[in-house]
Amino acid sequence: MRVSFYISLNLITPEGFESFGKFLLGGDKHEATEIFKLLKGDELVSEKSVLTMDLTGDYGGIPITLEMIHCSLDELAYNTTIISREIFKRIHLKTK
């Protein structure tokens, strides 16, 4: 079974979650979790949360949310930078 992990960016609307971005992290759960731990936000997601980010594992086509945080717009910008940097580092370290 093919397993992959990703972080999705979500906006909560009156109709529910609307996903507007996804960062693919590869098939290593440990690496994906380590990247997610670097992000800023609050683990206590509530009905007042507007922006959320979740770490999801795709197990043979079945997505399972592993962790979720909600964040402010400033934290979202910071988190996007961190995720991009970590993906960049991992890709370039693996190819050398």
pLDDT digits (tens, 9 = 90+) for 75-93: 999 999 999 999 999 888 7
Strand partners for 24: 6
pLDDT score recorded for residue 71: 94
Q: What is the pLDDT of residues 36-66, one digit of tens each?
A: 999 999 998 777 789 999 999 999 999 999 9
pLDDT (0 to 100) of residue 95: 54
User: How confident is the model over 12-40, as pLDDT tens digits?
Assistant: 888 888 999 999 999 999 999 999 999 99
Quick one: CA torsion of 46, 47, 51, 53, rounded to 10 degrees? Answer: 50
